Structure 1
Amino acid sequence: MDAFPDDARPGQVPEWLEPWTDVSGVESSLVKPLHGRYLPGCRGWAKFRSWDTTVTIVGAITGTLNRLQLLVFGRRHDPGGRLRAVGRTVPLRPDAARHVAEHLTAAVPRHP
Structure 2
Amino acid sequence: MGTVTNITKAKFSVGDLIHHRLFGYRGVITDVDRNFQLTDDWYEQVAKSRPPKNKPWYNVLVHGSIHSTYVAEQNLMPDDILEPISNPQLKQFFSTLENGRYIRNKPMN
Same fold? TM cut 0.5: no
| Structure number with higher strand proportion | 2
Q: Which TM-score band applies after superposition, normalised by the shorter structure?
A: under 0.3
Report the structure number with the largest CA radius of gyration.
1
Higher relative contact order (CA 8 A, sep 6+): 2
Greater helix proportion: 1
**TM-score, normalised by the number of residues in structure 1:** 0.21
